Structure 1
Amino acid sequence: MYWENIVFDAESPKQQGEFWEVLLKCQMLTDNADGYETRLQLAGPRYLDLCFPAVRDPDRAQQRVHLILGSGTHFSERLGDGHPDAMESRLDAAGNEFLLRAHDQDASGLVLEALQLACIDPAGDAEFWKQLLGWDIVARSPAVLAHPSGAGPRLVLVREASPKTAGKNAIHLDLRLEQAESMEDALGIICALGGKELDPPWGTLPWRVFQDRSGNEFCVLAPSASNR
């Protein structure tokens, strides 16, 4: 499995998508009644798509997923040394909070450094995501995971300030299966690691919906018809 998308439930997909597209210098993929998608190109063939499906009244009462932006300089080392840089709170076009490293104020040079996820047990959840993604744990305080290449956004796991509510997170990750992987294999791995599958009342979908060990939703997509 690999991390393919960050998904934002969006009342105004185009407005929200264009905000992030400009900020992160992405390339628009789709713009229609169902939503907006834009691509953040990473090193080599890797990419991360930012997806904004049209969703009425997204639940933003409790935000557990935050994008962290900065210059990208020595991010994992500085975050994981127990004395992370100060973060400043910002809001995107829809009112979702994101975090900006306080010393990185030049919007022209910002990159997506990490996705921060609130967890019950950051150390245990780090092992969960390590096994799913095949990433390395590069710091423990807080828990930080990185792609084996060392390039691209990190996944940062912090202890939750309050328990997750029953509402669906308005921002979540999508993972995609590799060509040799099956959905049933993924289901077995996720459940064995402490996650679980959900059965949302959304009809038949081309993906499956899961929760991690802390109740955060994520989706698993079938293998792509084309190579990455």
Structure 2
Amino acid sequence: MSLRPVLVNMKALDDSAVGHFWAEALGWRVAGEEPGATAVQPLGFDWLDPVTVCVDVIAVPEPRTTTKNRVHLDLATTSTAHQAELVARLRALGATPVQVGQGDVPWTVLSDPEGNEFCVLEPREVYRDTGPIAAVVVDCVDPRAMARFWDEAVDWTLHEVTDDQAVLRSAKGIGPYLEFLRTPGVKTVPDRVHLDLVPAPGDDKAAEVARLRALGATDLDLGQGDVPWTCLTDPEGHEFCVLARS
């Protein structure tokens, strides 16, 4: 029994505008546009057998609050010149520099057109083969507790656990990392960005949801009604969804 991260789900007032921004930012394509949903994927992506994650931007009526997102993307670069070029290109696309208390650091913190923070990292060898998304980063109080839950929840490999961070990645050694960073404060508002998971072939979604509840996940009612996915929260309250395969 296993689950795989498949989507980075972003909320937006204007899903089309934000989706097209991220398609340009990542060098991917807008793979589908429906009323209220814009899918951004690399060429050849198969969501039923994901070896990376894609981005889905979903329209919501609520604007983003001024509270910093506790889930964000880190983007990879291959050289200092590439980092500078990417930052300039993203700013031309509508990204804005933002201060989140980072101080003097070698990476650049930006926000997308609706204020969702993300980082353009300086070149790091560990991210050289991840593709454009180096990591999905989750702020948390206790990385060790997050490692215990997420290592059991998904079929990715746990690479590192300390008091300050926990790091997972696909067992195939490709695609982005999933990182939990110890961060001051606690979650106070719903996540504007979250992960969606999909069962492996042959695995039963209901059984996987029951397994997650036994690990410490909690059911989440967002008024979603009768939908084919299940909304849950992890032990620190970060929302995520388990999708049906059909």
Aligned length: 207
Match of 2:116 in 1: 96
Question: Quick one: which of 149, 153, 169 aligns to 2:191?
Answer: 169
CA shift for structure 1 position 47 = 4.2
Question: Quick one: which of 207, 222, 230 aligns to 1:185?
Answer: 207
CA shift for structure 1 position 71 = 2.3
Match of 2:14 in 1: 12
CA distance in 2, matches of 1:53, 1:114: 21
CA shift for structure 1 position 103 = 5.0
Unpaired runs of 5+ residues, structure 1, are 74-84, 105-109
* 1:74-93 correspondence to structure 2 within 5 Å: 86-93=106-113
Residue 49 in structure 1 maps to residue 61 in structure 2: no
Match of 2:219 in 1: 197
CA distance in 2, matches of 1:155, 1:29: 24
CA contact (8 A) 2:157 2:171 kept: yes
CA contact (8 A) 1:40 1:49 kept: yes
Specify the SS of the correspondent of 1:9.
Answer: strand
CA distance in 2, matches of 1:120, 1:176: 26
CA distance in 1, matches of 2:10, 2:135: 16
CA contact (8 A) 1:72 1:111 kept: no
What is the one-letter code of the residue matched to 2:153? L
Match of 1:64 in 2: 70
CA distance in 1, matches of 2:50, 2:34: 26
Residues 186 and 59 of structure 1: CA distance in aligned 2, closer, same or farther (over 3 Å): farther
Residue 117 in structure 1 maps to residue 123 in structure 2: no
CA distance in 2, matches of 1:162, 1:95: 20
Specify the SS of the correspondent of 2:61.
Answer: coil
CA shift for structure 1 position 102 = 3.6
CA distance in 1, matches of 2:215, 2:185: 23
CA distance in 1, matches of 2:51, 2:156: 14
CA shift for structure 1 position 185 = 1.4
What is the one-letter code of the residue matched to 2:108? E
Match of 2:161 in 1: 140
Residues 189 and 35 of structure 1: CA distance in aligned 2, closer, same or farther (over 3 Å): same
Residues 113 and 72 of structure 1: CA distance in aligned 2, closer, same or farther (over 3 Å): farther
CA shift for structure 1 position 45 = 6.3
Specify the SS of the correspondent of 1:151.
Answer: coil
CA distance in 1, matches of 2:23, 2:73: 14
Match of 1:208 in 2: 230
Specify the SS of the correspondent of 2:167.
Answer: strand
Match of 1:30 in 2: 32
CA distance in 2, matches of 1:157, 1:86: 20
CA distance in 1, matches of 2:78, 2:199: 28
Once the two structures are superposed, residues 37-95 of structure 1 have per-residue CA deviations (whole angstroms, 9 ceiling, x without a partner) of: 1113579963422111111124432410010012269xxxxxxxxxxx84321111211
Match of 2:86 in 1: none
Ranges of 4+ aligned residues in structure 1 off by more than 4 Å: 41-45
What is the one-letter code of the residue matched to 2:56? C
Question: Quick one: percent identity of the two aligned structures?
Answer: 28
What is the one-letter code of the residue matched to 1:66? H
CA contact (8 A) 1:38 1:51 kept: yes
Unpaired runs of 5+ residues, structure 2, are 80-104, 125-130
What is the one-letter code of the residue matched to 2:234? D
CA distance in 2, matches of 1:21, 1:45: 18
